[in-house]
């Protein structure tokens, strides 16, 4: 997704004007950076809300059907809040209620996978990523620095456990499929014969050779899934030679 250069320039100009208004220009770089992120977050929350309202307007529902099969009645535009990567975001969208079972529904939420009052999919992913790495309380502290708003430990736990549950379900499916001969045969047909994998490692060491220091490269190749180690190849770094600088990433090596 790319914005037009003109649009980015126009937005940057407005941003600088606002930064000057709030006096950000005279601060140190860290304060400027955090201040800019705060402004961007505020803009993001506002823009997301406006975008959702626009999408709701575009959706022309002829008739909305309830899960029970009955047609739903349009009620009014109802306000909702979601916790997105920009913090709490509000928007108004069309709301329908079933005349029979009285269940309510907003078609926009269904179309975009939104649950009013809940964490969005974009934020849930970030919470779960932090939640699997450290304790939920610590994750919430980390996330506050990254996101610039506080998410409760419980929310981090809930989203992390939800992703954990999805992973468990997926693994259970893999286990089940691994026992089905027809599925295994089908997979083999689709995947075909896969080439083997070769793992390699490269290291360098400076050593005195014939009165000068030269870098030796140690290369080790290991075929994937086997314990056998191929004969080690050793090569001297000759580019520049002598007592010059050691090799760095991107140097051409003479093997």
Answer whether 109's CB lies under 8 Å from 80's CB: yes
Name the minimum Å distance from CB 74 to Zn ion: 14
Near Zn ion in 199-218, by CB under 5 A? none
Residues 57-86 that bind Zn ion (CB under 5 A): 66, 68, 70
Question: Which DSSP helix (H) or strand (E) runs through 126?
Answer: helix 121-133
Q: Minimum CB separation from Zn ion for residue 105, in Å? A: 9
- By beta-carbon proximity to Zn ion, the closer residue of 110 and 246 is 110
Cα first-last separation, the chain: 43
Q: Is 26 helix (H, G, I), strand (E, B) or coil?
A: helix
Question: Does residue 11 interact with Zn ion by CB under 5 A?
Answer: no
Smallest distance from Zn ion to CB 47, Å: 34
Number of residues that bind Zn ion (CB under 5 A): 6
SS in 3 state form for 78-103? Answer: EEEEEEECCEEEEEEEEEEEECCCCC
Give me the sign of the Cα torsion angle 70, 76, 79, 85.
positive
Toward Zn ion, which CB reaches closer, 98 or 143?
A: 98
The residue among 44 and 107 lying less far from Zn ion, judged by its C-beta, is: 107
Supply the minimum distance, in Å, between the C-beta of residue 65 and Zn ion: 9
Residue 160, C-beta contacts closer than 8 angstroms, at least 6 positions apart: 127, 128, 131, 132, 136, 139
Within 91-120, which residues bind Zn ion (CB under 5 A)? 98, 100-101
Angle at 201 between CA 198 and CA 203, to 5 degrees: 160
Question: In the complex with Zn ion, which residue's Cβ is closer, 16 or 101?
Answer: 101
Closer CB to Zn ion, residue 74 or residue 183? 74
Length of the chain: 255
**Least distance between Zn ion and beta carbon 109 (Å):** 17
Q: Looking at beta carbons only, is 82 or 98 nearer to Zn ion?
A: 98
Chain residues that interact with Zn ion, rule: CB under 5 A: 66, 68, 70, 98, 100-101
């Amino acid at each position: 997704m790319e914005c037009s250069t003109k649009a980015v320039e126009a937005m940057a100009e407005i941003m600088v004007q606002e930064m000057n208004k709030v006096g950000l220009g005279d601060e140190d770089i860290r304060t400027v950076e955090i201040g800019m992120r705060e402004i961007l977050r505020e803009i993001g929350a506002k823009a997301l809300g406006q975008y959702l309202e626009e999408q709701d307007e575009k959706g022309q529902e002829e008739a909305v059907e309830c899960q029970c099969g009955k047609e739903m009645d349009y009620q009014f535009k109802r306000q909702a809040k979601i916790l997105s990567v920009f913090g709490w975001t509000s928007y108004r969208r069309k709301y329908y209620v079933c005349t029979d079972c009285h269940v309510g529904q907003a078609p926009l939420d269904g179309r975009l996978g939104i649950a009013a009052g809940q964490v969005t999919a974009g934020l849930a992913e970030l919470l779960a990523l932090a939640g699997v790495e450290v304790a939920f309380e610590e994750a919430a502290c980390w996330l506050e620095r990254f996101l610039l708003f506080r998410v409760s430990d419980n929310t981090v736990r809930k989203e992390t456990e939800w992703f954990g549950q999805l992973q468990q379900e997926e693994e259970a499916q893999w286990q089940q499929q691994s026992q089905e001969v027809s599925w295994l045969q089908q997979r083999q047909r689709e995947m075909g014969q896969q080439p083997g994998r070769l793992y390699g490692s490269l290291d360098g060491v400076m050593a005195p050779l014939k009165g000068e220091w030269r870098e030796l490269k140690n290369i080790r190749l290991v075929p994937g899934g086997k314990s056998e180690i191929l004969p080690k190849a050793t090569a001297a770094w000759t580019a520049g030679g002598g007592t010059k600088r050691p090799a760095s990433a991107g140097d051409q090596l003479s093997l």
